[in-house]
Structure 1
Amino acid sequence: MDLRIGIQNSPRELGFETSQTAEEVEQAVAAALTGQSPVLRLTDSKGAVFVVPAAALAYVEIGTESARRIGFVG
């Protein structure tokens, strides 16, 4: 699934692909926004860990879990 995270006072967003489910990502975001966790911690599909302070989150866009197409789309 593709994720895009907007960070306050940053012109760029953080984008990566993760093997976590949409529900797992939503739970992690909710925990960070409600103060249960001081950071949002997510892992990409290659094993890299991304840690964003909860206070710096602007938005989190959760993409679809569909497989990518190969070839030309007409």
Structure 2
Amino acid sequence: MSTLLHWLARLVHLAYWYCCDFMVNLSNLTHTSYNEANTWVLLVLVPGLLALLIGVRVAQWFRLRR
């Protein structure tokens, strides 16, 4: 059990650093600060994509009901 928890903690740690590195690279590519890139991704892009996907799913549901 201890090795499983250690493996899971390592996975979360690597995922966190991968995401941070991605945001730093994104901010460098867009010539913005890390905070601005983070704000755009987390407050604009992710909710926008989520709303789009929900809209597509609802449209498919209506289309299949006919």
Q: What is the TM-score with the length of structure 2 in the denominator?
A: 0.28
TM-score (norm 1): 0.26
Structure holding more strand per residue: 1
Task: Name the larger-Rg structure.
Answer: 2
* Greater relative CO, 1 or 2 (CA 8 Å, sep 6+): 1
Which has the larger share of helix?
Answer: 2
